[in-house]
């Protein structure tokens, strides 16, 4: 073979795709807060688009309430959880050994909602008004307390109603209450029905983080590369959704996981493009350090506020609870 033929053969070999040797996948269970909804699209996309597999992970999903997720993770019943941050802080303050390894939500989505026609603009305007929360033990009750406190009011200055999750939005729509403390996402439902809505974000005065990825202290210590792979897959799936694939992610979620949401695609696309993509999944911190990165100062402020309101029994150091994704492994 002359030199020219040899070089051509070498170029042809180099152009071939790299050989792939099947590697055994590590099966993990991720327990998600609540029930299957399209807002968990990044996790669903990570599985359905083969992103978990790319990192050597075969993921399975289960659902439970946030406090049970923290306990299950710590006990080793499941490998990972996706609860809200307040429940994770409460668990750690009760000596349940859980670690946050991906601060997926950079802020909470709690909010006080009211009709624009009500004249309400600030918490001071709630004095004497009828305000609803879902329960006296819920995060939205704490948000109401904190919001009132910042303007020198207390719960005694409003007419408090407790209304179940499935009926609280309708109560506002029907004018049975003047305001509800719930989720800012319900603004989209109300506006779709023609209601002009005003909103005060709870995160402005009571910072939190919404859903975060957690594992146990022991699992993180024993299998850091698996934890790193799950966090990296979630980051890649988030980036995929953010970078122009929100509609596909929503459709995938409805088809595979949340069929009862069919028909609400337009509302969901709006919530992704106006809420999740610009300010829930992304922040100044993620732009500097990557998706899932934690603002440790805000974590500590969130912990200290929960202590101030006696939601947790003792102070927790953010450094003992939260790990930056880049520091895993």
CATH of the domain at 30: 3.40.190.10
Q: How far apart are CA 323 and CA 80, in angstroms?
A: 14
Q: Is 119 helix (H, G, I), strand (E, B) or coil?
A: coil
Residues 94 and 122 in one domain: no
Q: In which domain, by residue range, is 165 found?
A: 110-204
Residues 231 and 190 in one domain: no
Residues 225 and 243 in one domain: yes
Of the chain, the percentage scoring pLDDT greater than 90 comes to 90
Q: Please give the average per-residue pLDDT across 261-288, as a whole number.
A: 97
Last residue of a domain, one of 173, 204, 235: 204
Is residue 255, in this structure, part of any structural domain at all?
yes
The confidence score (pLDDT) of residue 13 equals 32
Tens digit of pLDDT for each residue in 290-314?
A: 999 999 999 999 999 999 999 999 9
Residues 222 and 175 in one domain: no
The confidence score (pLDDT) of residue 22 equals 52
Of the chain, the percentage scoring pLDDT greater than 70 comes to 93
Q: How far apart are CA 157 and CA 162, in angstroms?
A: 16
Residues 67 and 79 in one domain: yes
Residues 195 and 315 in one domain: no
Last residue of a domain, one of 204, 237, 259: 204
Q: How far apart are CA 212 and CA 240, in angstroms?
A: 18
Structurally, the chain folds into a number of domains equal to: 2
Tens digit of pLDDT for each residue in 114-160?
A: 999 999 999 999 999 999 999 998 889 999 999 999 999 999 999 99
Q: Please give the average per-residue pLDDT across 70-82, as a whole number.
A: 97
């Amino acid at each position: 073979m002359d030199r020219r033929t040899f070089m051509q053969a070498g170029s042809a070999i180099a152009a071939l795709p790299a050989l792939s040797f099947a590697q055994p996948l590590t099966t993990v269970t991720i327990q998600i807060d609540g029930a299957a909804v399209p807002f968990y699209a990044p996790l669903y996309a990570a599985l359905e688009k083969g992103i978990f597999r790319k990192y050597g992970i075969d993921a399975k999903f289960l659902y439970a309430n946030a406090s049970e997720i923290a306990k299950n993770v710590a006990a080793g019943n499941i490998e990972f959880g996706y609860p809200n941050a307040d429940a994770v802080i409460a668990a750690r303050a009760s000596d349940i050994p859980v670690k946050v390894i991906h601060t997926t939500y950079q802020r909470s989505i709690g909010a006080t909602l009211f009709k624009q026609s009500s004249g309400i603009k600030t918490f001071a305007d709630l004095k004497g008004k009828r305000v609803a929360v879902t329960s006296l033990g819920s995060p939205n009750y704490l948000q109401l307390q904190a919001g009132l406190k910042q303007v020198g009011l207390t719960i005694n200055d409003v007419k408090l109603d407790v209304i179940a999750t499935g009926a609280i939005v309708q109560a506002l729509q029907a004018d049975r209450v003047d305001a509800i403390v719930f989720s800012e996402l319900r603004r989209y439902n109300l506006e779709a029905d023609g209601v002009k809505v005003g909103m005060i974000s709870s995160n402005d005065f009571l910072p939190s983080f919404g859903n975060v990825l957690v594992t146990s202290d022991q699992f993180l210590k024993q299998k850091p590369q698996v934890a790193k792979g799950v966090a990296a897959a979630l980051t890649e799936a988030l980036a995929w959704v953010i970078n122009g694939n929100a509609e596909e992610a929503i459709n995938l979620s409805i088809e595979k996981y949340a069929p009862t949401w069919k028909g609400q695609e337009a509302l969901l696309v709006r919530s992704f493009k106006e809420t999740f993509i610009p300010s829930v999944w992304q922040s100044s911190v993620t732009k500097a350090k990557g998706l899932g990165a934690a603002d440790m100062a805000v974590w500590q402020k969130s912990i200290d506020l929960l202590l101030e309101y006696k939601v947790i029994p003792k102070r927790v150091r953010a450094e003992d609870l939260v790990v930056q994704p880049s520091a895993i492994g």
